[in-house]
Structure 1
Amino acid sequence: MPKFVKNGSLLSEEMSSQVRLRLLPSARCLFDEPVQVKVSGLRSRQVVALRARSTDERGMVFTSSATYRADGSGEIDLNRDPSLRGNYVGVEPMGLLWSLRPVTLHKRFQKTNSLNPHVVKFSVHEQEGEGRMLAKATNERFLIGDGVTRCPVKEGNIHGVLFTPPGEGPFPAVLDLCTFMSEKRACLLANRGFVVLTVAMYNDRPDKVKVMHLDHFEEAVDFLQQQPKVGSKGVGLVSRSKAADIALSLAAFVPGVEATVWINGCSANTVLPLYHRKKQILPALLFDISKIIPTESGASMVKYVVQNPLAEESKATLVPIERAKGHFLFAAAEDDLHWDSKAYMDEMVERLKRHGKENFESVCYPGAGHYLEPPYGPYCPSSFHGLVGKPVLWGGEPRSHAAAEVHLWKKIQEFFRAHLSCDATQSKARL
C-alpha cells in the first residue's frame, strides 16, 4: 500500500513549459477525502476548461468538465474560484468529482472492490480551437488505508468481508448491510477506526430468493461481537434501501444492536416475507408494478409502486421498532424517487414519540436523491435496477446530493462514536 506523497505535483505531468496542475495536499488520498485542485502558469485572466475522466470496475467511462477564468497572476484555485459554466457553476472544490457523468446513459459508477484505487485523470485545456491540453495530473483515491486488514468471511450463513483497523483496539463494531455486495462503505469506516463486516442481502439472483431469514444477519452480529479487537458493548448497523428494513428488524428482534443507521428505506418489511427462528415474523409489503411511471429518458419512476404500509391491510408489515433498545439515526432524501423515504421516516419518528421513546435522531436532505453514498463519488441520477429489471430514476439534484453525502458521512461516524461505547474509538486513518 503506497504512502502519502507529500508533493502534490509528483503525479502531475507538465504539458506546457509554464502551466502546472497540482492536487494538494497529495495526488494520493483516501476516497472520502477532498483534494485541492490548483492551476498555475496561465496567462492573466485566461479562460480554460478543467476536465476529469475516470473508468469504473466494469470499464464504464465517466467524464466532467467546467470552465474557469484565471486570476491576475494566472492561477486557478477550485477552493476559491467559481466555475463559469459546464457540469456545474459556482465555487465547488470537488465539483469535477461529483459531477462525473457516464458516457453511456443510465450507468452507475461501480466501485465495490476495496483493493484498487479510484483513479481520476484531471486535465487543463485551452478554450480556443480544439482545446489543446496544457497540463494534467492523476488522482489515486484509495479505499483501504495503511494498516487496515481485509479478510473474506465464509462461516455458516455469513458471506462477507471483514475490515479491521490497525492497532490493538478496542474498536467499535459495525455491520454494513448492502442490498448487493459492496466493500466501499465498510472499508472507509474501517479507516476511521471501526471493525466492519459487510454482508449483502442478496448473494444469489434476487428472483431466486423467496424469503429472507433474519437469523443469517443475527449470525453476523454475533460474529462481530466475538472479534478480538472489538470493544463496544454492542454493534452498529448501517443500511440503505431494502437493507434498511432488515436493519430495523435486527434492531427490533435481535439483542446486541446498539446503534442503527437507516438511509432512504421503508418503515415496513418489503419485497420478501421475513423469518426468524423458522417462523414468519413479518409479511412482505406488496407492490403494484402497474404504478411504475415511464419517462422520456428511458428510466422509470418506481416511488409509488409500494403499497401504503399504514393502510389497514398492510399494518402487519410495519417493523416494530418501538421494541428496540438501541438508538436510531434516520436519514431521508427529500427528492428520493425510489422510496417515499421522507414519509416513512416521519411515520417512524411519530410512532417512537407515541411510545415515549427518545432513542432516535433524524436528518432530512432537500434536493438529495436515493443513492446517498460516502462522499466524492460520481452522482447517480439513474441506473439499472436488479429487482425491477430496467433502469430507474434515483432522484436528486447533483450539487445538493453531493453536499448531503459529505454531511451524512460525518454524521454517521459521530453517531456510532456516541452510541458504541468503547475505550478507544478514535483511530486516525493513515494511507
Structure 2
Amino acid sequence: SLKPLESVSDSNTRPAPVLTAAPVRALVDEQVSIRGHFLPLHCPVTLHARMHSDEGDLWESFAHYNADERGTFITRDPSVGGSYLGCEPMGLFWSMQPAPGGREGLRLRKKSVESPYTVHVSLLEGHVSTSEGQWSELAAVTVERWYIAPGVKRIEINQNGLVGTLFIPPGPGPFPAMLDLWGMGGGLQEYRSSLLASKGYVSFSLAYFGHKDLPGPPNCINVGDSYFKAAFLLLQDHPQVVSDRVGIIGLSFGCYLTLRIPTKTGVKVRHEAYFINLSNVFGTFNSWFLDHQIEERLRSAGKSHLLTRLSYPGAGHLIEPPYSPSARTSISDVSAAVITMWGGHPALHAAAQEDAWKKILDYLEKNLRS
C-alpha cells in the first residue's frame, strides 16, 4: 500500500529527494524526461509545472505518480491523476492551463522567440491539485523550452510592401525554404518559422492581416495575390535559398492561401505536392467538408496523387508544434467581444500535434531535400 512520505522518511538517514530533467534546455518539439530519485518506496508524489507566458499569465499542470520499489519514478510512467492520466511522457507540458484566478479566454502563443519558456517543475509530497493551496516542495528543477536553436538568424522584413520575419539556419547554405502563413487571428506569429529554421529551413513568417505596418483597415485583408507572390519570390531569390526548393505551410485560412498561391500567382515550383491536416472542429466550421472540396478539385485536375491527407478525430482546429497546450476556446485577437471555439480534447489533440509535426518534417525532408 502507498505510504505518506512523512511516515517513512528520516532526515538523518535518508538522502533528500532529487528531481532531474534531461535535457534541461531543448527545443519545444523535443521530449524532456523528468525523474524523481531517493524517495520512500511506493510513496505518492505530485509533479507541479508552472511557467509564465510572454504576457505574464501563469500556466500550470499537475501529475500524480507513485514511486516504485527503488524509490524512483519517471514521466514515462503512468500518471494516476492530476491534469492528465496514463503514460504521457510530455503530458506535463501539453496539459498546462491558465492558473485559477487568472484572465479568461487565453491561448498560449510565443511572442518573443528569442527567449525561452522557463518551466519550473516542483516535486510535491502526496497527490495534490490546484484546489489545495499549501504544498510541501521536496525538490525542484527548471527546464528551458526554446522555439529557436543557437545560431539561427532572425531578420525583420519591412520592405517593398512586405511585412514579416525571416529566419535563416546557421551556416552558409543554401537551404530549402518555407513560406509560413497563419490564419485570421492576424498579426505576425514567428514561432513555427523559427522552429523550422532550427530544422534547417529558411523560413519567412508573413503578416497579411491585422498588423500595424500593413495598409488599410486593420480588420480586413488589404493585400492581394501580388503580395503573396512577392513573398514567395523573396525567398526564391535569396542567396541562401535553393531556388527550386521552396514550400508553403499554412494554418487555418493560411491553408487556403497555400493552395491559392501556386495556382493564382504564376510562381514556378519544381514540383507540386499537397499535405493536409484534417481535424474535426466543434463549433467553428466544417473542416471535413472544406478538405474534401480540396481533394475533389485536385482529382478533377488529375493531381490527386500529389495529396497526402491526415485525419485526427478528437483533435481541434489548431494543429501547432508538438507539446503545445491546447485551447478549446479563446478570446479573438481581432475583437475582445468574440470568443473563438477551436474544439478538441486535450490528450487526442496532443497526440495529433505530435504525429502531424513528425509527418510534416518527414514530408519536407522527402520533397525539399531529397
Task: Give your verdict on TM over 0.5.
Answer: yes
Which of 82, 88, 91 is matched with 1:95 structurally?
91
Cα distance change of structure 1 residues 66 and 94 upon mapping to structure 2, 3 Å threshold: same
Question: What is the aligned counterpart of 2:338 among 390, 397, 401?
Answer: 390
CA distance in 2: counterparts of 1:348 and 1:370, whole angstroms: 17
Of residues 33, 36, 39 in structure 1, which corresponds to 2:33? 36
Deviation of residue 46 (structure 1)? 0.4
Q: What residue identity is the alignment partner of 1:111?
A: K
- Scaled by the length of structure 2, the TM-score of the pair is 0.87
- 2:239 is matched with which residue? 228
Give yes or no for the alignment of 1:216 onto 2:220: no
State the match for 2:78 in structure 1. 82
Q: How does 1:21-420 map to 2 (within 5 A)?
A: 21-24=19-22, 26-79=23-76, 81-103=77-99, 104=102, 105-127=104-126, 130-179=134-183, 180-202=187-209, 203-204=211-212, 207-209=218-220, 211-256=222-267, 258=269, 326-357=272-303, 358-387=305-334, 389-420=337-368
Task: List per-residue Cα deviations over 1:107-131 (Å, max 9, x = no partner).
Answer: 1113132101011111110127943
Report SS of the residue matched to 1:52: strand
Quick one: distance in 2 between partners of 1:387 and 1:366? 28
In structure 2, distance between residues paired with 1:333 and 1:395: 9
The answer (yes or no) to whether the contact 2:43–2:126 under 8 Å persists in 1 is no
Q: Tell me, what secondary structure is at the counterpart of 1:338?
A: coil
Residue type at the aligned position of 2:192: R
Counterpart Cα distance in 1 of 2:57 and 2:196: 26
The percent of aligned pairs where both chains have the same amino acid is 33
C-alpha displacement of 1:157? 1.5
> CA-to-partner distance for each residue in 1:183-229, whole Å, 9 max, x for gaps?
10000000111001111221249754264412111111111011111
Determine the C-alpha separation between the residues in 2 that align with 1:258 and 1:68: 52
CA contact (8 A) 1:185 1:374 kept: yes
CA contact (8 A) 1:337 1:370 kept: no
Task: Note the residue ranges of structure 1 that are not aligned, 5 or more in a row.
Answer: 1-15, 260-324, 423-431
**More displaced 10-residue stretch of structure 1: 32-41 or 346-355:** 346-355
Per mean C-alpha deviation after superposition, the further-off stretch among 176-185 and 67-76 is: 176-185
Structural RMSD (CA): 2.0
Q: Judge conservation of contact 1:67–1:86 (CA < 8 Å) in 2.
A: yes
Q: 1:351 Cα shift?
A: 2.5
What is the CA-CA distance between 1:354 and the residue it aligns to? 2.8
Assess, with a 3 A threshold, how the Cα gap between structure 1 residues 112 and 210 changes in structure 2: closer, same or farther: closer
Contact 1:234 1:256 in 2 (8 A): no
Which letter does structure 2 place at the counterpart of 1:237? I
Matched-pair contact (CA < 8 Å) for 1:114–1:184: yes
CA distance in 2, matches of 1:339, 1:112: 27
Q: Secondary structure at the match of 1:420?
A: helix
Rounded to whole Å, the distance in 2 between the matches of 1:116 and 1:33 is: 17
TM-superposed CA distance for 1:257, in Å, is 5.9
C-alpha spacing 1:66/1:100, structure 2 compared with 1 (3 Å) = same
Alignment partner of 2:193: what SS?
Answer: helix
Cα distance, 1:387 vs structure 2 = 4.2
Equivalents in 1 of 2:17, 2:217: separation in Å? 52
Runs of 5+ unmatched residues, structure 2: 1-13
Contact 1:258–1:327 (Cα < 8 Å) also in 2: no
Distance 1:116 1:401, change over 3 A: same
Aligned to 1:85, the other structure's residue is in SS state coil
Cα distance in 2 between the residues matched to 1:158 and 1:327: 26
**In the TM superposition, what whole-angstrom CA distance separates every residue of 1:38-87 from its partner, at most 9, and x where no partner exists?**
111110000011110011011111111111111011101112x1111111
Larger mean CA deviation between 41-50 and 384-393 belongs to 384-393
Q: 1:366 to 1:50 in 2, by over 3 A?
A: same
Q: After alignment, is 68-77 or 171-180 more displaced? A: 171-180
